[in-house]
Amino acid sequence: MVPAADGQTDPMVPVLARITRKTEEIPGVVTFEIEAAGWSGFLPGQFNMLCLFGVGEIPISISGPASEPDRFVHTIRAVGPVSRAIAALEKGAVLGLRGPYGVPWPVAAARGRDVIVAAGGLGLAPVRPILYHLLENRAAYGRVNLFYGARRPEEMLFADELSEWRARFDMEVEVTVDHAAVGWHGHVGVVTSLVSSADFDPANTTAFVCGPEIMMRFAAHALTDAGVAPSDIHLSMERNMQCAIGLCGHCQLGPVLVCRDGPVFDWARLRPLMRQEEL
């Protein structure tokens, strides 16, 4: 961060960061590895604000391992003017970086418990740091289930990693798609359909969910129906965030500000807020 005139860190001033690697994941989605001098790491579930000077700024979850504190990984879908401009950058380009911000996933509190990670579409990126942490500390957790849903097989993120994780045999990886052509031999259907056949102890399970809001809502209901306590189900909202520090109010959701009080919320707290208009 850049020191303000009073000697304190100014959270609204970005530092300069450089793209050290760019990977095309699927059409319209890229992953950047970014380095910035003096950066001190992050916790799984936190996000950064990425700024392209003269264009704009957007919040992007960190999708790399928290065990490598001097390196940030961001997976970006090119859907708006700012994200398209940032996604078009190449290795060596410089952009602005603020963060990290936000309430992280409570991975430490899940130690000794079974873990379910459920993700839909690009939602696999924000939960990816959880998976790295679980596998780096595998003996500290019980059974681990990853449920991932994509619209089509060719739209799956991190396909090589999904295969590597499945081949480890110390976690269950189930992938489903909404639509599949001839040759697909996996599940077809919504990601929530995978919950009923999973092996876990509902009374001793922590769940982490990220994806489209409708998917998260149905996943939370499926998990509670299976016996998981609402306070043990954690979802990442990440909507309408603009300042990242609770000043502008754009991300207000009922009594909370998503950037300040989230983006990770437990279902017991989030469930009544999901009834707010325009959610």
Q: Which domains does the chain have, with CATH numbers?
A: 2-101 (2.40.30.10), 108-273 (3.40.50.80)
The predicted pLDDT at position 34 comes to 94
How many residues are there in the chain?
279
Q: How far apart are CA 64 and CA 231, in angstroms?
A: 26
Using a 10 angstrom Cβ sphere, with 0-12 exposed, 13-18 middle and 19 or more buried, the burial of residue 248 is middle
Residue with tokens 């991190």: 158
CB 207 within 8 A of CB 115: yes
The predicted pLDDT at position 277 comes to 55
The predicted pLDDT at position 184 comes to 83
Residues in the chain predicted with pLDDT less than 50, given as ranges, are: 1-8, 278-279
Using a 10 angstrom Cβ sphere, with 0-12 exposed, 13-18 middle and 19 or more buried, the burial of residue 30 is buried
Q: What's the pTM? A: 0.93
